[in-house]
Amino acid sequence: MVMKHLLSIAGTDPSGGAGAQADLKTFCAHGCYGMNVITAVVAQNTQGVIDYMDITPDLIAEQLEAVFEDIAVDAVKIGMVSVPETIRVIGEKLKQYKPPIIVVDPVMVATSGHRLLAPESEQVLKTVLVPLADVLTPNIPEAEVLAGKKIYDFSDMEAACRAIAAMGAKAVLVKGGHRVSDATDILFDGNGFHYFKGQHIESMSTHGTGCSLSSAIASNLANGMELETAVGKAKAFVFEGIKHAEPIGKGHGPIHHFYEMYKKAGLL
């Protein structure tokens, strides 16, 4: 199989659990060639976000041009986009270069509670990035903001999927990691719903689960899987990644990103 080229457009995590670093590890675990365009440099670790600085729109444009002018990109995953100017420049460049697959994880607030998306960016994200998404992967609080409605149960998750799809996303996966009874994710593919049932694991190793899931979906789609299979396998990757995680750091540690690689090598 020819190695696919995956690009993450995201903020950083120097402690290696979320953001650009989690994306790159996930691409690698799926046998893909990973690349990074950085939107913000974030000082964070397993305990929380300390500070961050946004990269200027000009430098984001130049990073995107550097990649797209040189290398054929098979799929893009978008994570932390922070401010409206960042969202606009990403939107312009993606319309110019038209990568075949775009997965958008609409990151708003880190697990630690720090905002990673400015409040004034919410509307811009809806109008610029949602319509570009082949798959959009909000967690429950993000889906509530995008759909403008509280989510209490599966039927609310389904309604949010439909409302967000009506904004232009081709498919929407509302993730259930924030549910307490289970961790069921619901996918709307534009026609119908698919439930990805999952047990909720009591674990401290859940930093970057959303980043890893969206990067795994992008990798699986680039590797030629159908949407439902791509999402199911990505969910299993994160589930096993939580289960096999070693405790790292004093707070919410990362998942085990090499699960897929170890499994292929027959080591798990």
Ligand X SMILES: Nc1ncnc2c1ncn2[C@@H]1O[C@H](COP(=O)(O)OP(=O)(O)OP(=O)(O)O)[C@@H](O)[C@H]1O
Q: Which residues are catalytic?
A: 175, 206, 208-211
Does 256 contact ligand X by CB under 6 A?
no
Nearest-angstrom CA–CA distance, 9 and 20 = 7
Specify the pairing of strand 33-45 against strand 102-104. Answer: unpaired
Which of 21, 36, 63, 209 forms a contact with ligand X (CB under 6 A)?
A: 209
Build a one-symbol-per-residue string for 90-129: x at contacts with ligand X by CB under 6 A, - elsewhere. Answer: ---------------------x------------------
The H or E element containing residue 48 is strand 48-54
* 254 near ligand MP5, rule: CB under 6 A: no
Q: For the residues of 142-167, what is the DSSP string, one character each?
A: HHHHHHTS---SHHHHHHHHHHHHTT
Applying CB under 6 A, does 110 fall inside the site for ligand MP5? yes
**How would you class 72 by CB atoms within 10 Å of its CB: exposed for 0-12, middle for 13-18, buried for 19 or more?**
exposed
Binding pattern to ligand MP5, positions 16-55, x when CB under 6 A?
A: --xx----------------------x-x-----------
C-alpha distances in Å from residue 249, one per residue of 37, 107, 211: 26, 22, 18
Number of residues that bind ligand X (CB under 6 A): 23
- Partner touching 19 among ligand MP5, ligand X, none, CB below 5 to 8 Å by kind: ligand MP5
Which residues within the stretch 128-167 sit at the binding site for ligand MP5 (CB under 6 A)? none
Strand order in the sheet with 135-136: 48-54, 33-45, 5-11, 75-78, 102-104, 135-136, 172-174, 185-188, 193-196
Do 51 and 82 form a contact (C-beta atoms < 8 A)?
no
Please choose, out of 89-97, 103-111, 118-126, 147-155, the segment that lies near ligand MP5 by the rule CB under 6 A: 103-111
Q: How many Cα atoms are found within 13 Å in the side-chain-facing hemisphere of 120?
A: 5
Per CB under 6 A, the segment of 4-12, 30-38, 193-201, 242-250 that binds ligand MP5 is: 4-12
| 246 three-class SS | coil
User: Considering only 5-13, 157-165, 206-214, 259-267, which stretch makes contact with ligand X by CB under 6 A?
Assistant: 206-214
Residue given tokens 């609409």 in the structure block: 106
Residues of this chain that interact with ligand X (CB under 6 A) are 18, 111, 139, 175-178, 183, 185, 198, 200-201, 203, 206, 208-211, 213, 235, 238-239, 242
Residues of this chain that interact with ligand MP5 (CB under 6 A) are 10-13, 18-19, 42, 44, 79-80, 107, 110-111, 116, 207-208, 210-211
